Amino acid sequence: EGALELSPSLRPVLSLPRPARMFSKVMTAVAVAAVAVAGQDAQGFLAPRALQANDTAVRTSQLGSMLVVDQEIAQVQVGGAVRIFGVGSSNMLWETWLDQITLMISKLGYDMPLVESLGLIKTVTKPEWTAECDDGAEISQVQTLRIAKPGWSSWGFAFESMEDCNENGFRHFLGHKLSCNNGWQCDPRFVGSEALARPSDVARVARDSDVTVLSNWVNDFTARFPGNTCFDGEYLSMDDASVTVESLKLLIRAIHAENPKVVVVVMAKYPGAAGRRIGADYSNLNMAVRAGLADEPNTVFANFEFPLDEDMFLMSKSGHPNCRGDRVMASAVIEALFNARVLSRGLAMGEPGACLADSACSELSASLACCQRAALCRVAEGQCVPYSTGEQ
């Protein structure tokens, strides 16, 4: 065992510089691994780690094929229960990242009981479709409850009723006209049988979780196209995150009204796709959402990086990350929960700048921390091996 030299992504959030420009060697979705919010100490929650390089309070060791990090002070010790619940859109129905979170935490030595659905609409415990990941046999064995509404935006989970919607199908919200049609780009043709998912209903399920993961806002900004129909034609800047932040707050506060000890993890929005590779950078947008949630108790913002000029997206489900992207996203949640002192054990992760885009997997077997960071590799039977996209 020894001290791990931690990457800058694990250092205090406020000390981090603005992400590098869009097309650096590594495209950064957001510059940090987690934001643990202000005020937690006063409410009985553990304070976030002030992690620094060579932090002797963090121990590294080998656990089977993995290299792990351990800390003594955390909400859930190894062997304890971690109940995961997901709230999202198609990324929870057509991708594996939520299931990879459950698999990874289980391998770290935690018990993973299944959260009960309690009759909540549109819940499943497995994706409806996934790419064929190299570790798909393992992934297919886990179950993780989720409510997933393809095409929906964050405001579909933010309101208790449709009573304030006018005859044209809009409600007034933060000075804007916001569509009451919950579906892809607020198009009535894509509205399903459920008009909305009430935050109180979601919260009644989430209260029995230890960690609720929110990825229900990834469509908020594609909802601006075409013609800004979600806002009755009003143009909202791509840097304006106010509607998203307030919608997320309404759901987060409903969850914490039911159980203030639930850790809410808000996922960053993944980069936009141009075919199989990165085509758009949303780092400024992610930073705005992160900042807007900074005062929410017991809330963590999980951020991640995708390597530039590498196949990270599906073609069969356009715009969605493939198996590689899913593994990066899942690892980011583990890293965020460790950094926020929720988990006492996490994955040892190498320097993003040196490891994330490294594709020489066989050469990383001597550096499992780097392999565990690399988007194009994975650890299997103690060796670093290539990780495919899951799609031919």
Q: What is the pLDDT of residues 325-381, one digit of tens each?
A: 999 999 999 999 999 999 999 999 999 999 999 999 999 999 999 999 999 999 999
Enter the DSSP assignment of 303.
Answer: -
Q: Is 271 a residue whose pLDDT tops 90?
A: yes
pLDDT confidence of 39, banded at 50, 70, 90? Answer: very low
Query: 56: pLDDT confidence band, cut at 50, 70 and 90?
Result: low
**pLDDT at position 357:** 97
**Pure H helices in 1-127:** 97-107
Write down the mean pLDDT value for the chain: 86
How far from 78 is each of 73, 84, 317, 337, 344, CA to CA, in Å? 11, 16, 36, 13, 6
How much is the pLDDT for 55? 57
Helix (H, G, I), strand (E, B) or coil at 205: helix
Tell me what pLDDT residue 49 has: 53
123-142 per-position pLDDT tens digit: 999 999 999 999 999 999 99
* pLDDT score of 191: 77
- Quote the pLDDT of residue 47: 52
For the segment 196-220, the average pLDDT, to the nearest whole number, is 97
Cα distances (angstroms) measured from residue 73 to each of 57, 58, 333, 347: 9, 10, 18, 16
Is 134 within 8 Å of 387 (Cβ atoms)?
A: yes
Enumerate the β-bridge partners of residue 124: 146
For residues 242-267, average pLDDT: 98
CB 157 within 8 A of CB 197: yes
Mean pLDDT, residues 176-192 taken together: 86
What is the pLDDT, as a whole number, of residue 185? Answer: 85
- Give 183's pLDDT tier (boundaries 50, 70, 90): confident
The partner residues of 378 in beta bridges, in order of sequence, read 385
Pairing of strands 277-280, 272-274: antiparallel
pTM, rounded to two decimals? 0.87
Helical segments of the chain, H only = 97-107, 136-139, 199-206, 242-258, 283-292, 323-339, 352-355, 368-373
Measuring CA to CA, how many Å separate 303 from each of 179, 218, 228, 334?
Answer: 29, 13, 27, 11
Q: Judge whether 140 and 198 are in contact, CB under 8 Å.
A: no
Percentage, residues of the chain above pLDDT 70: 85
pLDDT (0 to 100) of residue 226: 73
Output the pLDDT for position 188: 80
User: Over the stretch 225-235, which tens digit does the pLDDT of each residue have?
Assistant: 778 889 999 98
**Residue 41 pLDDT > 50, yes or no?**
no
